[in-house]
């Protein structure tokens, strides 16, 4: 028996004495550790990106109040009590409400009250307005018949 394996089996009696089983369990733990380190690295990068993102949207003096399990969505509160939602997946900032209660009600029941924050201009645009502009743009485009293209 290897010295390291004998030390481990003395200290950890639940560790199997067969090398093959022991090696399989170590491999599983190493895989879990690698996934954990990768996830921590991604989370660290996201957290480092938040200050630059806030500057882009003209928001300052915020602190996180909620975070999703995967740490891709953060709810942020500024000193005036305004609640914003930052989505790293969509790379978008949303205005949820003037206080936590209003933000929760809007998020859960009245999602039409949620507004996107426009980069650089810092304007609030409602989701309905964005849908309407997208529909107008789609309707203004003429369909192209592929058979007519030479």
Read off the pLDDT of residues 85-94 as tens digits, 9 standing for 90 and up.
988 888 888 9
Using pLDDT thresholds of 50, 70 and 90, give the confidence band for residue 1. Answer: very low
Instruction: Indicate the angle between helix axes 3-11 and 19-57, nearest 10 degrees.
Output: 80
* pLDDT tens-place string over residues 4-19: 444 444 444 444 455 4
Judge whether 81 and 98 are in contact, CB under 8 Å: yes
pTM, two decimals, is 0.60
In the three-class reduction of DSSP (H, G, I as helix; E, B as strand; rest coil), residue 137 is classed as helix
């Amino acid at each position: 028996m290897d010295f390291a394996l004998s030390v481990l089996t003395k200290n950890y009696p639940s560790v199997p004495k067969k090398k093959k089983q022991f090696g399989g369990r170590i491999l599983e733990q190493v895989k879990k550790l690698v996934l954990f380190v990768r996830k921590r690295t991604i989370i660290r990068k996201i957290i480092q990106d938040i200050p630059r993102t806030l500057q882009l949207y003209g928001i300052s003096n915020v602190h996180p109040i909620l975070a999703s399990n995967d740490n891709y969505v953060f709810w942020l509160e500024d000193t005036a009590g305004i609640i914003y939602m930052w989505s790293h997946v969509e790379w978008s900032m949303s205005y949820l409400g003037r206080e936590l209660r209003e933000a929760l009600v809007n998020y859960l029941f009245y999602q039409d009250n949620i507004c996107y924050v426009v980069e650089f201009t810092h304007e609030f645009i409602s989701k309905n307005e964005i849908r309407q502009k997208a529909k107008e743009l789609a309707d203004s485009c003429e369909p192209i018949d592929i058979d007519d293209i030479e």
